[in-house]
Copies of this chain bind each other. A is one copy, B any other.
Amino acid sequence: MGESTLRDVAELAGVSPRTVSNVVNGYARVTDATRSKVEHAIAVLGYRPNVLARNLATGRSGQIVVVVPYLDTPYFAELLQTIIPTARKAGYNVLVDQTDGDRDHEVELIGRGPRRFLFDGMIISPLGLSQEDLSLRDPTLPLVVLGERPSDGTFDHVGIDDVAAATEAVRHLISIGRRRIAAIGDQPYPTGEAAQLRTRGFRAAHTAAGLPVDESLIISTTRFNRADGATAMAALLDRADPPDAVFCYSDLVASGAIHTALQRRLRVPEDIAVIGYDDIEDGRYGRPTISTISPDKKAIAQLAVERLIMRIGSTEPVLGVELRAAHRLIPRESTLRDVP
C-alpha cells in the first residue's frame, strides 16, 4: 500500500493523470461517472495522493499550528477559542500540538525537520526553549511567540505587561490592609521568565508602599496548577507566622490555594485574601469567586493571528516586534467579601 503513483491510478481508471489530480483535489469539473471510476482505482491500488504536491504549487498548506505546553490549562483553551475562529475566517485551519514543556519537542517543532512543512506558520507558547534555541530555529518559519520569551527582533512576541500587572495585583492586596503577602508560582532561571516578571512586580509593589519583602514567603512551583497551589498554601499555613494574603501566579494556583485554606476552616478573604492571574472562567464560578488580573485574551489571540498571517504572506523578512495587549485588575470575593 502507498506505493502506487498517480500515473498507475490514471492507467487503471482509463483517464488522464490530470483528471486523477482533479478528483483528488476535489475540483468540480469532473463527471460523477469519471469520479467514481477514479475513486475505484484509488481504492484498488491503495493510492495515497501527495497532498503537499498541491501545496508546493501554491507554496502553502493552509494549516497553522498552535503549540502550547498543556491543553488542560484553561488559559490556553480559552485563548484558542479566539485563535481558531480568527484563523478560520482568514482561510487557515488550526491544529494544536501539546509539548508538555519538553524542550526537545519544542526544538524539533521550530527546526528544519520534515514536519516543518506541514504548516505555513506557528504560534508557540514555549516553556523549555531558551532564547538561544529560538535564535537557532528555521529562519523561514513564520513565528509568533506567546508567554515566556521576549522578541529578539526576528519573531513577534505577544503578551501583557507582566511586571505592571503583578504590581497592580499586589498593590490591591496592600490597599485592603494586608501586610504579610506571600507569592505562589515563582520559577527559577532560565525557565519561567514570565514567572520572574511577576515576582519583579511583587517586589515593586512592596517597594512602592515602603514594605519589606519577606523572601521566605516567595514560593516556587514546578507548574501553575491547582495541586501546586494547594501544596504551597499548606506549607504557608503550617508556618508559625502565616501570611494574611497570597498573590498566585495563575487562577488555577489560586483555586488550589483557596481549597486548602477552606479545608482548614479559614475564611477567605477575612483570614487570608487570595488573588490570581489569567481570569479563567472557573474563577468566576468558584466560591468565593477569585479576584484576578485579566489579560485581554481576545486581543492577544487576534494580534497573534494577524501578525502570523501577515508574516506568511510576506515575501520579505519582517522585523520582529513586541506587541502588548491590555490587562485589568478584577476584584472579586476572594479579596473583597461583598463584591457581587
Task: Please list the residues of chain A having a beta carbon within 8 angstroms of any beta carbon in chain B.
Answer: 1-3, 24-26, 39, 43, 46, 48-56, 58-59, 63, 65, 71-72, 74, 77-78, 80-81, 84-85, 93-98, 100, 112-118, 139-140, 226, 230, 255-256, 259, 262, 281-282, 285-287, 315
Contact = CB atoms under 8 A, between A and B. Distances in A.
Contacts of A98: 80, 84, 94, 96
Given A63-B118, A259-B285, 20 more contacts: A3-B59, A24-B112, A24-B114, A26-B114, A43-B140, A48-B117, A49-B114, A50-B50, A50-B53, A51-B52, A52-B53, A55-B114, A63-B115, A72-B78, A85-B100, A95-B95, A226-B285, A256-B285, A286-B286, A286-B287
Top 9 closest A-B pairs, CB basis? Answer: A2-B59, A72-B77, A51-B114, A96-B96, A95-B95, A287-B287, A51-B117, A259-B285, A52-B52
B26 A117 contact: no
A77 B72 CA distance: 5
Nearest to A96: B96
A56 B65 contact: no
A286 B282 CA distance: 9
Given A53-B50, A256-B285, A59 B1 contact: yes
Nearest to A24: B114
A51 B117 CA distance: 7
Contacts of A49: 114, 117
A286 B85 CA distance: 31
A227 to B, nearest CB: 9
* This chain: copies in complex: 2
A96 B98 CA distance: 9
Contacts of A43: 139-140
A117 B50 contact: yes
Contact of A26 (B71, B80, B113): B113
10 contacts: A3-B59, A26-B114, A43-B140, A48-B117, A49-B114, A49-B117, A85-B100, A262-B287, A286-B286, A286-B287
Contacts of A262: 287
B65 A95 contact: yes
Nearest to A259: B285
A312 to B, nearest CB: 11
A2 B80 CA distance: 29
A5 to B, nearest CB: 9
A56 B50 contact: yes
Contact of A281 (B51, B85, B93, B226): B226
A176 to B, nearest CB: 22
A115 B140 CA distance: 23
A79 B206 CA distance: 42
A140 B44 CA distance: 11
B226 A51 contact: no
Contacts of A85: 100
Given A52-B51, A80-B98, A117-B50, A39 B255 contact: no
Contacts of A53: 50, 52
B286 A51 contact: no
